[in-house]
């Protein structure tokens, strides 16, 4: 009688899969109450390392051509499609979903990812503009990526929320620290494996697991995070997050729609350039 | 050594002249060198290019840890790069620090390399941060020890802060110390000059002040001899020849690690400056690891299969 | 050798498997033409026959349009937009996978250098599909209303100068916006379109969404005039474009036309001179000058004329003309004997009209169709070679004294496709760009294309734009 090799779930920081520097884990059970896994209990230091990695990766990622980003994101979708069965298994186990609904969620997540991949080289065309100022100047507004964005992934449907949080942030040229929902972290790590095998440069995406309320405090107060997707944060914690975040005026947003250009434009800054027209 | 392009010896005239030079469009420059990098050099032209590249190598060791033993080994390698194949030509020069020149000259003379010059880096290489007196003495020592080529550095701090007359005078002085028999290479340290416009200006400044060769880098700062930089310098020598009738040489140094890189450089020379520059008298490549890759590629061309590092010597 | 000769470096023709005979691609399959007629396509560099091609007559055109209509009504218009997009992503990725094969085939059939097919044509074609794939489910953002609708069946006719790229410029936006297509490639360059049909099959594209019919001008005419066609998209000569506009005048059909040009490349005295020389060379000799937006008129500031022309001639001496399959070839073959005759006739007019011809010394192969890179200096506005599109590697050089004069000369043409501006001064570039009546303006660069960048002309250079958000509106009706 053959037994399976059990999977270990680690963090994803700067392109590698380390354990938490705290050495700690927490237990999650499946929907039936049986042991499922020991994901890492991410620490403040893990978050800090992720932010350093994300910051270092930002210049290269945002200066790559939009076409290049789009190609890389589409490749992630190709890899996700190949791992669909693994995602389905994890969703059934964690969320208590039926096989049919788990499969539907995975397909929807891949299609959501593809939707955002297609925006990379189009977002400026719909949110930038040439402005007709009264004077001998060309004046144009270009949205640019904000920088380093932390994402608190919402709960069920876990994979779909992970994708809707992460894809728009990196499609728009930001680099990310994705904090998996503490009840449903497994798909996040499998997603990390997809990213690691798809030409995504190290540091562009970092994925952590652990306790949300701790991350709220640490991420809220860290001065080198520029923006936060707080969709997964509870109302009680959201106030704390915003109070801490005010120290460096973090752009903190929550979203209700999975497919929305706001998930990109809210993490972009508009730069307006004037240039004289004359001999 | 032609200053007739300048109205007089003042810094103002020098600046005025340099400002008449055309701007370089960086995007256009990069596009051109990228196109030239697609040239496919095969079979007979590859053989020719490899041997020429070997003859153009200024085989270099410039480490604080250099010892007489290291320098002697380098010289042996430079004379007979492949002891199992005596058809391999010798390198273009040996390049060492000033206090290793005597040892290099003796080793070359005793080892069949009488015709291989010793080039010394000088003038407080690599930073150039020292007094003019020290720089002059550095140069004199090298020449007295047997160097027939001097690779000097320009004062980049002075260049970037606009003291172009000062930079010019330093080069002029060192060329006077060299005289007409000692060949002077002027290192621009393009990685610190950053813009292609600066590279163009510095190239002309050096040529006007008496350089026999303009050299990209010390090899101690990255980026070193990138294709766009070499392109601008090759254009400078090409155009300078048109105005003055004098051909100045170009030496890229640093970052040229394999045969592919070296051949790309030769293509640039061929199509930017022109075939007259495809000669060690007008083009050198400052390198160390490159030589073994050239030898391995040469073996592959000769034998029809790839060699391994076991078949080339470690100096 | 005492010079750096580049030994032959041929790409291998064995990379592509050319069939001896091709059918018409209708409703997802290759079928024989009803009338059984065929013609051949040759390699213009050697004149050897490459393959036998089917000739589509009216009956075949009917079949193709019907297939496209059925596919539109039953399948494509009912398909969720995101799924349409995913077909296009598949096509883009397969094109990337098979890019070397396509590049070799394009060079053999067209005569352009393999370096250009490999590094420019095919990557841009794949990028065009990839870019448009992402628009399929985002059309409400395209600026054509909140729920724009496709036209239905698009008739698409493309030229021989960039066969695969022009196919991508036509099919990608048409499919992304929900239309189905019948495409007719040029008669001298059908092969990459026919290979593309295989890519459609590999991608699982539903039958009838893309149909490819080969033939000549008569075939194209049947296609344009077919009552089952809703939209016409044509790239080619201005004279045929005008004929199409006339032909559809009484109908409900709408048309996008990409026609000829006589692009002005303006060089100011403060231009970055070496890069400007390169830009002029690229502007007229890229693709043998078979480019609608070629910079075929150099409008040069008179005070730098001598220095510039000397540098230009020295640069032209480096142009390598010869076997297009050699990776070091810069200038390939002229596409057909007809085109070669046209080029010769117009260039000879330059001699007759009194301008001074110059070409570098180059040896031309004994078989195939070849023309050396050529410049005419001392050209004035009234010369034929300043007014008529030569569509070959021939540059007409005019001069100007003041910026306004440069603009006036540049604009003094019924064409309005492209222009180039060379200057180191940003405000001057933008001033000139504002004055120039051209749909594509390149500053300190030339012949740059991108799927995100709208392309098209003013005046007799055509109607509409291809590429970018603006290009989508050519295939969308907007809300009723």
Same domain, C357 and C426: yes
- On whether any CB of chain C is under 8 Å from the CB of A199, the answer is no
Q: How many domains does chain B have?
A: 1
Structural domain contains residue B35: yes
Same domain membership, residue C136 and residue C26:
yes
Q: Which one of C106, C187, C200, C292 is the catalytic residue?
A: C292
Are the Cβ atoms of A122 and C428 closer than 8 angstroms? no
Active site residue B8: no
Q: Are residues C245 and C348 in the same domain?
A: no
Q: How many CA atoms lie within 13 A of B311 on its CB side?
A: 15
Report yes or no: A122 at the C interface, CB cutoff 8 Å.
Answer: yes
Q: What is the CATH number of the domain that holds B232?
A: 3.20.20.70
CA B232 to chain C, closest CA, distance in angstroms equals 10
Q: Is residue B1 part of a domain?
A: no
Per-residue confidence at B1, pLDDT binned at 50, 70, 90? very low
ipTM value, please give it. 0.94
Q: Please indicate, yes or no, if residue C7 is contained in any of the structural domains.
A: no
Predicted confidence at residue B2, as pLDDT, reads: 47
Phi–psi pair at A228, nearest 5 degrees: -140, 130
User: Of the candidates A66, A74, A138, which has its C-beta nearest C89's C-beta?
Assistant: A74
Pair of tokens at residue B283: 């083009």
pLDDT digits (tens, 9 = 90+) for B182-194: 999 999 999 999 9
Which band of pLDDT confidence, cut at 50, 70 and 90, is reported for residue B3? low
Percent of chain C with pLDDT over 70: 99
Is residue B85 one of the residues assigned to a domain?
yes
Same domain, residue pair C144 and C282: no
Interface of C with A in 434-473 (CB under 8 A): 434, 451-452, 468-469
Domain total in chain C: 2
Q: How confident is the model at residue B9 (pLDDT cuts 50, 70, 90)?
A: confident
Where residue C48 sits, what CATH number does that domain have? Answer: 3.40.605.10
Determine, yes or no, domain membership for B6: no
Predicted confidence at residue C2, as pLDDT, reads 64
Please say whether the beta carbons of C182 and C172 come within 8 A.
no
C251 & C298 share domain: no
Residue C241 sits in the same domain as residue C272: no
- Averaged over A239-254, what is the pLDDT? 97
Quick one: how far is CA A254 from the chain centroid?
13
Q: Is residue C247 part of a domain?
A: yes
Note whether residue B91 is domain-resident.
Answer: yes
Q: What is the DSSP string of chain B?
A: ---TTSSSSSHHHHHHHHHHSPP--HHHHHHHHHHHTT----HHHHHHHHHHHHHHEEEE---TT--HHHHHHHHHHHH-S-TT-TTSPP-SEEEEEGGGHHHHHHHHHHTT-TTSPEEEEESSTTT--S-HHHHHHHHHHHHHTT-SEEEEE--HHHHHTT-HHHHHHHHHHHHHHHTTTSEEEEE--HHHH-SHHHHHHHHHHHHHHT-SEEE---SSSSS-S-HHHHHHHHHHHHHHHHHHS-PPEEE-BSS--SHHHHHHHHHHIIIII-GGG-STTTB-EEESTHHHHHHHHHHHHHHSS---GGGS---
Evaluate whether residue C170 is within a structural domain: yes
pLDDT in tens, C445-473: 999 999 999 999 999 999 999 999 999 99
Same domain for C424 and C377, yes or no, is yes
How close, in Å, is residue A257 to chain C by CA atoms?
A: 15
C412 and C468 both lie in a single domain: no
Whether residues C452 and A122 touch (CB distance < 8 A) is answered with: yes
Domain-embedded: residue B208: yes
> Do A96 and A158 touch, CB atoms closer than 8 A?
no
List chain C residues with CB under 8 Å of B45.
Answer: 1, 4-7
Taking the Cβ of residue C383 and every Cβ of chain B, the question of whether any pair is shorter than 8 Å is answered with: no
Q: Is residue C388 domain-resident?
A: yes
Asked whether the predicted pLDDT for residue C480 surpasses 80, the reply is: no
| Residue B129 domain boundaries | 11-311
Per residue in C161-217, pLDDT (tens digit) is 999 999 999 999 999 999 999 999 999 999 999 999 999 999 999 999 999 999 999
> Is C449 within a domain?
no
d(C-alpha C180, C-alpha B142), whole Å: 78
Range of the domain at C305: 264-443
On whether both C391 and C343 belong to a single domain, the answer is yes
Residue corresponding to tokens 């590249």: B53
C278/B31 Cβ within 8 A: yes
Distance (Å) from the C-alpha of residue C130 to the closest C-alpha of chain A? 8
Residue C230 and residue C142 share a domain: yes
Q: Global pTM?
A: 0.95
**Closest-CA residue to C324 (of C374, C290, C359, C281):** C290
Judgement on whether residues C295 and C239 belong to the same structural domain of the protein: no
- C99 inside 8 A of chain A by CB: no
pLDDT tens digits, C106-152: 999 999 999 999 999 999 999 999 999 999 999 999 999 999 999 99
CA A40 to chain centre: 18
Q: Is residue B116 a part of any domain in this protein?
A: yes
Q: For residue C415, give Cα distances in angstroms to C263, C288, C433, C474.
A: 8, 20, 16, 21
The predicted-structure confidence for A192-210, as pLDDT tens digits, reads as follows 999 999 999 999 999 999 9
Radius of gyration, alpha carbons of chain C: 22
* Domains along the sequence of chain A with CATH: 35-127+145-268 (3.40.605.10)
Rounded CA separation B114/B100 (Å): 17
Examine the domain organization and report whether C269 and C232 are in the same domain.
Answer: no
């Amino acid at each position: 009688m053959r037994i399976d090799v059990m999977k270990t779930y680690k963090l994803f920081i700067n392109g590698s899969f380390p354990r938490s520097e705290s050495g700690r884990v927490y237990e999650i059970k499946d929907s039936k109450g049986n042991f499922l896994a020991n994901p890492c209990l991410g620490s403040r230091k893990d978050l800090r390392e992720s932010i350093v990695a994300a910051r270092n990766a930002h210049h290269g990622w945002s200066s790559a051509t939009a076409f290049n980003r789009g190609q890389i994101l589409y490749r992630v979708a190709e890899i996700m499609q190949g791992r669909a069965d693994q995602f389905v298994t994890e969703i059934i186990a964690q969320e208590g979903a039926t096989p049919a609904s788990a499969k539907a969620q995975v397909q929807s997540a891949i299609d959501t990812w593809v939707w955002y991949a297609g925006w990379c080289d189009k977002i400026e065309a719909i949110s930038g503009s040439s402005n007709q100022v009264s004077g001998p100047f060309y004046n144009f507004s270009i949205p640019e990526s904000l920088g380093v964005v932390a994402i608190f992934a919402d709960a069920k449907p876990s994979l779909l929320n992970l994708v809707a949080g992460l894809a728009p942030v990196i499609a728009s040229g930001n680099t990310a620290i994705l904090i998996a929902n503490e009840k449903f972290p497994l798909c996040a790590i499998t997603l990390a494996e997809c990213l690691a095998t798809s030409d995504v440069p190290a540091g562009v995406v970092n994925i952590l697991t652990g306790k949300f309320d701790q991350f709220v405090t640490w991420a809220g107060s860290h001065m080198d995070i520029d923006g936060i997707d707080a969709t997964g944060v509870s109302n009680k914690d959201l106030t704390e997050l915003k109070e801490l975040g005010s120290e460096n005026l973090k752009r903190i947003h929550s979203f209700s729609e999975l497919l929305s250009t706001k998930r990109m434009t809210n993490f972009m800054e508009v730069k307006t350039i004037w240039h004289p027209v004359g001999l | 050594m032609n200053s007739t392009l300048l109205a007089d010896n003042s810094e103002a005239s020098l600046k005025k002249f340099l400002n008449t030079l055309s701007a370089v469009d960086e995007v256009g420059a990069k596009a051109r060198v990228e196109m030239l990098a697609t040239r496919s050099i095969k079979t007979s032209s590859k053989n020719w290019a490899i041997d020429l590249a070997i003859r153009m190598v200024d085989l270099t060791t410039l480490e604080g840890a250099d010892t007489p033993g290291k320098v002697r080994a380098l010289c042996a390698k430079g004379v007979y790069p492949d002891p199992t194949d005596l058809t391999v030509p010798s390198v273009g020069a040996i390049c060492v620090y000033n206090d290793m020149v005597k040892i290099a000259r003796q080793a070359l003379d005793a080892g069949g390399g009488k015709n291989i010059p010793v080039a010394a880096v000088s003038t407080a290489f690599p930073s150039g941060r020292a007094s003019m007196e020290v720089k002059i003495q550095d140069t004199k020592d090298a020449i007295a020890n047997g160097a027939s080529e001097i690779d000097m550095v320009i004062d980049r701090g002075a260049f970037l802060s606009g003291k172009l007359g000062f930079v010019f005078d330093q080069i002029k002085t060192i060329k006077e110390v060299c005289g007409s028999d000692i060949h002077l290479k002027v290192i621009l340290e393009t990685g610190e000059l950053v813009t292609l416009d600066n590279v163009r200006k510095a190239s002309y400044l050096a040529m006007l002040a008496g350089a026999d060769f303009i050299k990209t880098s010390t090899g101690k700062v990255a980026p070193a001899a990138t294709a766009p930089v070499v392109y601008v310098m090759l254009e400078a020598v090409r155009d300078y020849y048109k105005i003055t009738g004098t051909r100045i040489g170009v030496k890229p140094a640093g970052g040229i690690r394999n045969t592919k890189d070296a051949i790309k450089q030769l293509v640039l020379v061929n199509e930017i400056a022109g075939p007259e520059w495809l000669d060690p008298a007008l083009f050198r490549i400052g390198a160390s690891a490159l030589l073994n890759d050239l030898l391995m590629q040469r073996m592959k061309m000769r034998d029809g299969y790839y060699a391994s590092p076991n078949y080339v010597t470690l100096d | 050798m005492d010079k750096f000769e580049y030994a032959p470096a041929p790409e291998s023709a064995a990379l592509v498997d050319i069939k001896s005979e091709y059918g018409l691609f209708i409703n997802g399959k290759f079928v024989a033409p009803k009338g059984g007629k065929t013609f051949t396509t040759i390699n213009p560099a050697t004149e050897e026959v490459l393959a036998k091609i089917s000739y589509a007559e009216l009956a075949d055109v009917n079949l193709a349009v019907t297939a496209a209509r059925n596919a539109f009504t039953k399948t494509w218009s009912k398909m969720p937009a995101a799924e349409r997009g995913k077909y296009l992503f598949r096509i883009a990725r397969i094109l990337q996978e098979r890019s070397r094969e396509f590049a070799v085939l394009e060079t053999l059939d067209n005569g352009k250098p393999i370096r250009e097919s490999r590094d420019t044509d095919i990557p841009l074609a794949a990028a065009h599909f990839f870019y448009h794939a992402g628009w399929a489910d985002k059309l409400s953002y395209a600026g054509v209303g909140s729920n724009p609708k496709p036209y239905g069946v698009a008739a698409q006719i493309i030229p021989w100068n960039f066969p695969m790229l022009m196919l991508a410029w036509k099919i990608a936006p048409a499919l992304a916006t929900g239309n189905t297509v019948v495409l007719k490639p040029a008669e001298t360059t059908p092969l990459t379109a026919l290979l593309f049909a295989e890519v459609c099959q590999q991608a699982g594209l539903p039958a009838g969404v893309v149909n490819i019919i080969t033939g000549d001008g008569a075939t194209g005419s049947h296609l344009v005039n077919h009552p089952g066609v809703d939209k016409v998209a044509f790239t080619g000569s201005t004279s045929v474009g005008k004929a199409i506009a006339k032909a559809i005048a009484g109908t409900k059909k709408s048309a996008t036309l990409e026609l000829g040009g006589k692009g002005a490349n303006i060089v100011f005295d403060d231009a970055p001179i070496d890069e400007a020389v390169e830009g002029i060379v690229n502007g007229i000799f890229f693709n043998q000058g078979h480019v609608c937006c070629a910079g075929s008129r150099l409008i040069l500031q008179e005070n730098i004329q001598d220095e510039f022309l000397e540098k230009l001639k020295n640069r032209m001496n480096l142009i390598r003309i010869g076997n297009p399959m050699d990776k070091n070839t810069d200038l390939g073959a002229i596409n057909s004997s007809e085109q070669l005759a046209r080029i010769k006739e117009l260039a000879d007019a330059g001699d007759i009209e009194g301008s001074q011809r110059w070409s570098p010394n180059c040896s031309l192969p004994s078989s195939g169709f070849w023309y050396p890179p050529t410049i005419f200096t001392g050209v004035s506005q009234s010369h034929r070679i300043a007014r008529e599109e030569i569509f070959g590697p021939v540059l007409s050089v005019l001069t100007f004294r003041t910026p306004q004069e440069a603009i006036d000369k540049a604009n003094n043409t019924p064409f309005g496709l492209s222009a180039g501006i060379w200057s180191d001064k940003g405000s001057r570039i933008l001033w000139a760009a504002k004055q120039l009546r051209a749909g594509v303006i390149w500053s300190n660069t030339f012949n740059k294309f991108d799927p995100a960048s709208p392309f098209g002309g003013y005046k007799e250079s055509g109607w509409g734009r291809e590429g970018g958000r603006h290009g989508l509106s050519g295939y969308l009706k907007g809300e009723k």
